[in-house]
Amino acid sequence: MKLTTKVTGAIIVLFCFIYATVDDFLPDTEHTTWTHYGGSPDQSKYFKASQFTKENVNQMQVAWVYPTMDSVFNFFSPIVVDTIMYVMAKNYSLVAVNAQTGKEIWIHANLQGLTRRGINYWESKDRKDRRLLFTLNNTLQAIDALTGKSIKTFGKNGYVDMREGLDRPVSTIRRMQSMMPGVLFEDLIIMGSAPGEGYFSPPGHIRAYNVVTGKRVWTFHTIPHPGEFGYNTWPKNAYKYVGGTNVWSEISVDVKRGIAYLPIGSPTYDFYGADRIGSNLFGNCLVAINARTGKRIWHFQTVHHDLWDYDLASAPQLITVNRDGKEIDAVAIATKHGFVFVFDRVTGKPVFPIEEKPFPASKMPGEKAWPTQPIPTVVPSFTRHEVTKDMINPYYSEEEKKKWYKRIDSAKSGLFVPPSDKYETIMLPGALGGVNFGNTASDPGKGMLYILTQEYPSVYKLERIKSPRELMSVDDKQKAQTLYSTTCKSCHGDNMTGRGIAPSVVNAGQRITFDDFKTLITVGRGQMPGNPHIDEQRITALYRYLGGTISRFGFGNRRTTEVKMPEGPVVASGGATVKPDAKTIPPMSDYPAGVARPKNRYSTDYGTAWPDLLGPAWAWVMAYDLNTGTVKWKKPLGEDAKASKAGDKSTGAVNGSQRKGIVVTSTGVLFCTGKGGKLYAYDSDSGNLLWETTLNHESNAQPIIYELNGKQYLVVNATNIFTRDSYDHSKDPGALPRGYVVYALPDKKL
């Protein structure tokens, strides 16, 4: 039976009323703890911090430091539960430390491939079952939060294989792990993924798992299956070969309503979509779903048929705005391409007008750019959208400027200009511009949105992808043809399509690994005789001639055979033992049989190598008042070594907001990090700088705030190296070791 929209809405309203009534009897812990990546399930990065005020924040000082004792490039954001802080340190170990002193409690060592930006904490109602949940490479695992040992009853022997349920054979999926830890809701962990951005990458379906059993409870197909809403916005059977369309950033949850908000990324391939003609739901969509069932409630697509890699890459912010005298529970999403969209949280109705505006058509063969795109008409953009010659970086040499003047003259630039194989397109912002992961926060009750953003152009030019055979040398082609003719043709036919019981070997190299192919040729199988006399050079040529690509799979340098035990209270090592695949199959590299396909495929070199192409300012921290839809204030973010040396403190930093974080307090203080090891405290109402300090190592993680024994602390992960355009403060006199730096007010000031 189908419910009407009115009936469905009535049920939602009734459900919300009941849930809110029950919640009234629960203790109010929202925004007073930091047990989730963004503080709370709403990912607001907001904390009720009574002690840090505008008047005393300039007295902040280091309370203690926990050194990581390694050289790992560390994005990890701690969480704190009761008296314990959980961090990553000591070469991919998960470490529990005393949150007041930094003393180690336990170490679970050698978790290479641990979720890069954080973990989740869950506890049962009686608090007898307390566990940490995280992804480790392609698995979801659980550790006892008090003992640090793997929970072997979770999933199958302690892990869940997250490659399952992604519309591809499991063993063909090399990587799907997101850098983000997902989000907890009741007894579910809701997970996104990062399955890759190339042709034929797996789809990024959203899955929810039971935190106790590991059982998959629901799946939301981000690329719809036949019969599902949105299926007709794709070519037939697109879910079988299109990938991406994933949430690799932060999922926000309205706990009282039981609604999860998904910021979904671009479909693959990002810059050429002739094999996915249509608007491509739910790519580039903000989707509200029932957090218990995974059913869609509403959606809004911020980019139709994306050709620019304009993922939704930041946390949707759940705020209450006062609009025309009416309070509206809203959700706001800031984008890579420089816009802020605001919707009624329950209905999806825009709070401010959004218009569909026309944009240029694509001239690429087979491509059909969507004729219009949604543009907010009241809430102002926070970036520019076209590169002109007068914007070129003044710090460039005259020779370098002239080169770019010439490129700009022959290129096209502007919002939603489709990529081409005939000329360069210079996009502003590019794929790494605008707002990215970790770059949004809010003061939920005041309707205030805070963002970190940067102007980072991308330069694209499409090129036709050549087949493995086209890339072969004349000599290797001759070797392959001769070998096929003398050894294979009699059974598999002149055209490789097979004869009798001998199968077709057209593109066979895409269905078998090189090692298995080599074994098959030399040893044989069934009716096929072995040919041990054939040397590896000729076998390699034949494999490529049959469409194969020789490559290394897996997690590359994230794995090592060397296991070292760190010093300290080690209680376990390596997580749950993962059973290897019985057989490895190459990743999907061609369209399934029977589906329509473009004549050629095109790609680009991604074009993100010019973060400093434009002049300053390069990055900002900004405040939006979404009661009025206006920018309240805007300040440069980060420190650039060259500009600072020249005496200019107003430039911000090149690539200054990427991997940076932000925290807002109830007392009107906004903490954020910026490139160059900068830690700032701003007046969240006016943008006035209240305090700044320089860390001895770069911070590329989300800061946190917590309270213990009546005292509040700010924690910054300062573990990364400085780039060449920053000062290296790790060599300053009295520099702190790389580690988690904990700040507090001096006791006498409390």
Between 421 and 14, the higher pLDDT residue: 421
pTM (whole model) above 0.75: yes
- Residues 139, 91 share a domain: yes
**Range name among 87-96, 374-383, 639-648 with the lowest pLDDT average:** 639-648
Between 377 and 588, the higher pLDDT residue: 377
> What is the pLDDT at residue 6?
39
Residue whose C-alpha is closest to residue 252's, from 327, 308, 194, 331: 331
Read off the pLDDT band of 619 (50, 70, 90). very high
pLDDT at 500 over 90: no
Q: pLDDT of 312-359, one tens digit each?
A: 999 999 999 999 899 999 999 999 999 999 999 999 999 999 999 999
Q: Which of 555, 590, 625 is the last residue of a domain?
A: 590
- Residues 415, 274 share a domain: yes
CA 202 to CA 225: how far, in whole Å?
14
> What is the pLDDT at residue 721?
93
- Residues 125, 234 share a domain: yes
In a domain, 217, yes or no: yes
> What is the pLDDT at residue 19?
37
> What is the pLDDT at residue 567?
95
- Residues 535, 653 share a domain: no
In a domain, 473, yes or no: yes
Work out the burial of residue 580: count CB atoms within 10 Å of its CB; fewer than 13 is exposed, 13-18 middle, 19 or more buried.
Answer: exposed
- Residues 194, 52 share a domain: yes
- Residues 386, 514 share a domain: no
Phi-psi category of 141—alpha, beta or left, where left has phi over 0 and alpha has psi -120 to 50? beta
- Residues 692, 638 share a domain: yes
CA 323 to CA 520: how far, in whole Å?
69
Read off the pLDDT band of 562 (50, 70, 90). low
- Residues 612, 499 share a domain: no
> What is the pLDDT at residue 750?
45
> What is the pLDDT at residue 44?
98
Work out the burial of residue 656: count CB atoms within 10 Å of its CB; fewer than 13 is exposed, 13-18 middle, 19 or more buried.
Answer: buried
Q: Which of 590, 625, 649 is the last residue of a domain?
A: 590
Q: pLDDT of 21-64, one tens digit each?
A: 333 333 346 899 999 999 999 999 999 999 999 999 999 999 99
- Residues 294, 403 share a domain: yes
In a domain, 597, yes or no: no
Amino acid at 302: T
CA 507 to CA 289: how far, in whole Å?
41
Domain range for 531 is 462-564+584-590
- Residues 502, 421 share a domain: no
Residue 481's CATH number: 1.10.760.10
* Residue 485: DSSP 8-state: I
pLDDT at 89 over 50: yes
| Mean per-residue pLDDT, 220-236 | 98
Contacts of 18 (CB under 8 A, 6+ apart): none
**Range name among 10-24, 140-154, 509-523, 574-588 with the lowest pLDDT average:** 10-24
Residue with tokens 């954001």: 77
In a domain, 436, yes or no: yes
Q: Strands 46-47 and 662-665, how do they pair?
A: parallel
Q: What is the number of domains present in the chain?
A: 2
pLDDT at 553 over 90: no
> What is the pLDDT at residue 561?
52
* Selection from 445-454, 511-520, 528-537, 555-564 with the highest mean pLDDT: 445-454
- Residues 431, 468 share a domain: no
pLDDT at 13 over 80: no
**Range name among 13-22, 325-334, 474-483 with the lowest pLDDT average:** 13-22
Tokens of 108: 């679970």
R_g of the chain, CA atoms, integer Å: 27
Residue 118's CATH number: 2.140.10.10
> What is the pLDDT at residue 494?
83
Between 246 and 116, the higher pLDDT residue: 246
Q: What percent of the chain has pLDDT over 70?
A: 94
Mean predicted lDDT score pLDDT of the chain: 91
> What is the pLDDT at residue 376?
98
| Mean per-residue pLDDT, 424-447 | 95
In a domain, 578, yes or no: no
In a domain, 94, yes or no: yes
- Residues 448, 466 share a domain: no
pLDDT at 2 over 50: no
Read off the pLDDT band of 496 (50, 70, 90). confident
**Range name among 215-224, 258-267, 494-503 with the lowest pLDDT average:** 494-503
In a domain, 171, yes or no: yes
Q: Which of 590, 625, 658 is the last residue of a domain?
A: 590
Residue whose C-alpha is closest to residue 151's, from 169, 191, 177, 124: 124
In a domain, 523, yes or no: yes
